Amino acid sequence: MNCDDIRRQLNAHLDEELDVMHDAEIIAHLDACPACADAALAHAARRGLTREKLQRFTAPPNLEAQIRDSLPSPKEKLSSPVNRPILRRLLPLAACMAIAGLGGYQAGVFQTRTRDSVDELTSSHVRSMMTGHSVDVASTSRHTVKPWFAGKIDFTPPVPDLAADGFPLIGGRLDQVKGTTAAVLVYQCRKHVIDLYVSPSAAKAPSGETSHRGFNIVAWTEGENHYAAVSDLALVELREFGRLWREQAHL
């Protein structure tokens, strides 16, 4: 594939609609071609911005029943595959609308002096996504992920299980952020990856929430550690992730 082919398929790549071989080809190209990598970043940023600026509405309580009523019976569905994509599109939308109604903790804003921390976090997140290296230990079990960090870093992050809340754990990795080794807990929400960076807290570590290059960041300090969740997930959902994570970490 040449650069034009790659750019035509960026949308499908970011939506994870391509098959594995195809996706690998695009990732390899983005790795080797700075111009296309820049185009991919700009593309991801525009998508994040659009998502952020979209007006959100609360779903009326009878929406789910209406969608179900309008769908064919299971027997009809087999003969009319055209309905399946519609359902696939509607259900996440309904989930987003439902979660948009949930409140969260009131967060502060990032200070300008912490802008470079934000940039480092975002770059690290993007790098891991583009190289396809998002986990060193791939597991949905916290009993595998938590002990994996032991002996590699001198602190042990809590690893709560949020699968029941729609944020399954997919693994963990170590990453360098601002010259410090961070434990990264990797969760997922639908097709979106959430990197939660855990590092010993530093005086200038940012707290609050912000958007940068199309990604959202929700950060807080607790006890000895600083936490920063980075994702292209909508801010309202990432905030909810942070709230649930803090709640479950103490159980």
Smallest gap, in angstroms, from Cβ of residue 10 to Zn ion? 11
Quick note: the x/- pattern for Zn ion over 16-35, rule CB under 5 A, is -----------------x--
| Size, binding site for Zn ion by CB under 5 A | 3
Smallest gap, in angstroms, from Cβ of residue 29 to Zn ion? 6
Using the Cα atoms of residue 213, residue 10, residue 17 and residue 173 in order, give the sign of their dihedral: negative
Buried-exposed string 238-249: b where 16+ CB fall within 10 A, e elsewhere? bbbbbbbbeebe
Q: Could you say whether residue 87 binds Zn ion (CB under 5 A)?
A: no
- In the bound state with Zn ion, the residue whose beta carbon lies nearer, of 36 and 118, is 36
Q: How far is CA 102 from CA 31, 32, 237, in A?
A: 39, 42, 9
- In the bound state with Zn ion, the residue whose beta carbon lies nearer, of 9 and 122, is 9
Smallest gap, in angstroms, from Cβ of residue 30 to Zn ion? 8
Tell me the H-state helices in 71-224.
74-79, 83-100, 115-130, 142-149
Burial class (CB in 10 A: 0-12, 13-18, 19+), 55: exposed
In eight-state DSSP terms, residue 9 is T
Closest CA to 27 of 127, 120, 125: 127
Smallest gap, in angstroms, from Cβ of residue 17 to Zn ion? 20
Q: Could you say whether residue 163 binds Zn ion (CB under 5 A)?
A: no
Smallest gap, in angstroms, from Cβ of residue 249 to Zn ion? 42
Window of 3-11, 104-112, 160-168, 205-213 that interacts with Zn ion by CB under 5 A: 3-11
- Chain contacts with Zn ion (rule: CB under 5 A): 3, 33, 36
